[in-house]
Chains A and B, each alone.
Chain A
Amino acid sequence: MIWPSDRRLALRLADLRATEVAFDVDQDLVARLRSLAIASSADPTLVKGRWKRRVGAAIGAVGVFGWAGAAAAGASVGLVSTGSLPDPIQNVVADVLEVVNIEVPRPVSSVEIVPEPAEEVPVEETPPAEPPVIEPTPTTVIEPDQPEEEPVDEPVEEPIAPPTTTLPEESDEGDLDAEESPGRSEEAPGQTGATPGQSGTTPGQSGNTPAQGAEPPGQTGNTPGQSGSAPGQSGSNGQGNGNSDNAPGQSDNNGNGNSDNAPGQTDNNGNGNSQGNPNPGTPPEQSNGNGNGNGQSNSQSGNNGNGRGVAADEVDVTPPEAAPATEDTPASPNRGNNGNRGGQSGR
């Protein structure tokens, strides 16, 4: 027995090729295969063209999207610059653009209040005071039917003169030059008292209630310097000084309302002076009274409110500028002036 070796077995396997029958090549088959091969070889070019089209489409898409994105960005920036967007979005966009140093308006609610130094209220130029008509010795006549406020016998508080309403030369006590300090009540009836907080030692000084001065017959200085603080503003400190030299027929009511609020908050100063000069020989019904109330308020908005009121039945001396204020204060008999609501703070 001859066992098949590996080499012999491999040769026997190779001899099986001899069983392969050669055949004549069919030309139709060759022609068909040629056409198929050409068509197959043409595919790579189609693939390349397909890639070109894809690249072109991608570039076109990028262009379209870029154009749309630029348009959207422009519209957004336009809306932001005009502050037309809703507050939260406006705030966010403002924060984002702030990074690139582009300032856009923020919503009003988000604007921080920056304290500003108190502006000096320009002192109103008043014409030179006319020679005083009032007698230097005033007397106060109290009407029996009018509720009389008992003069508060309290120690006089040191006046705190608001810098905005007081001229330096007017702050000196006893300097009652009518020409230089308009509003001196004793010399210029009806003028605004420019020395707020000057307190006389006589009764009638009102302490805590600004401008709640003693009300002599015929004269009333009602709450000058009421500081109306804007809601939500810080609490105001009110100091009120009322001076009343209540000689018969005369009263000087000075009321100051100073509110030292939080920095930058409303600074309301109110001065109210009221003078009543009944002539000594004049009955109380014919008393002359001048009342002025100045209120100055410095608020953020910078509004100053001044109110002057003169009302008198028989006014002997009436400053020219006091006349228009009579609309607010209806005349009352036996009462001189009402300087009401001077210094309603502007908001």
Chain B
Amino acid sequence: MADRVSVRALKRGEASEWSKFVGDIGPKIVGYAHRMGSRDPDEVMGATLEAVARRIGEFEGGAGDLRSFVFSIAHARIVDDLRRNTRRSEVSIENTLDLLEADEPNEETFSDPDLLAALERLPKEQHRMLELRYVVGLSTRETAKAIGKSEVATRVALSRAFAKLKDLLSEQLRAESSEAEVAS
């Protein structure tokens, strides 16, 4: 995890620290970007790490702060990617095939389709907070820093998002049970 990464070593540009940091945080960025709907998570991951490396000299804080910093940049890149994809009117065949393959459910990447479906139905802000807090594993304070809100507001928003996610999952279960009764 990133807590074992020395920020000072990263600033000095030590290769081992950077290898460890990329190996640790890279998959998280890719998964986060994928769940947030990015069409090219690897590109988001590369752009995020590159931005972190450019601004590591200005960064002040510990490992937890570095994770918040990384995912705040990742979120900005995801938003940029989504906007770019919506503006893009023409795409190449290869990208289209990749996107079609990515949209298909995959056992490796989507182990809980009901939960993912419920997350997709949440507002973007609540989805993002739940991702950072429960999936990525940031603390409430780190989540608050990553989304640029106060810790109290983030805590309240997380509670509401969590309750809404439960409601969505309950509705989904209720619908499935009713369908099962009709089918039986």
Contact = CB atoms under 8 A, between A and B. Distances in A.
B15 interface: yes
Interface in B98-137: 108-112, 115-116, 130, 134-137
A36 B50 contact: yes
Nearest to B14: A34
7 nearest A-B residue pairs (beta carbon): A40-B57, A20-B31, A13-B134, A36-B53, A38-B13, A33-B53, A41-B57
Contacts of A108: none
Interface stretch (B65-73, B74-82, B87-95, B167-175): B167-175
B137 A17 contact: yes
A25 interface: yes
B37 interface: no
A17 B12 contact: no
A39 B14 CA distance: 13
Contacts of B136: 17
A43 B59 CA distance: 12
A21 B11 contact: no
Contacts of A25: 19, 22-23, 26
Contacts of B146: none
A2, A15, A18, A21: most-surrounded residue (chain B CB, <10 A) = A21
B15 A40 contact: no
Contact of A18 (B23, B49, B111): B111
A30 B31 contact: no
A40 B56 contact: yes
B55 interface: yes
Interface stretch (A4-12, A121-129, A133-141, A145-153): A4-12
29 contacts: A1-B177, A9-B165, A13-B134, A14-B134, A16-B31, A16-B135, A18-B111, A19-B35, A20-B27, A20-B31, A21-B27, A22-B23, A25-B23, A29-B22, A30-B19, A30-B22, A33-B49, A34-B18, A34-B53, A36-B53, A36-B54, A36-B56, A37-B10, A37-B18, A38-B13, A40-B55, A41-B11, A41-B56, A44-B57
Interface of A: 1-4, 6, 9-10, 12-23, 25-27, 29-44
A13 B31 contact: no
Contacts, number: 123
B145 interface: no
Given A17-B136, A33-B53, A41-B57, 4 more contacts: A4-B166, A12-B115, A27-B19, A37-B10
A10 B134 contact: yes
Interface residues of B, number: 47
A6 B111 contact: no
Contact of B58 (A27, A31, A33, A40): A40
Contacts of A3: 170, 173
A34 B30 CA distance: 20
B40 to A, nearest CB: 14
Contacts of B162: 6, 9
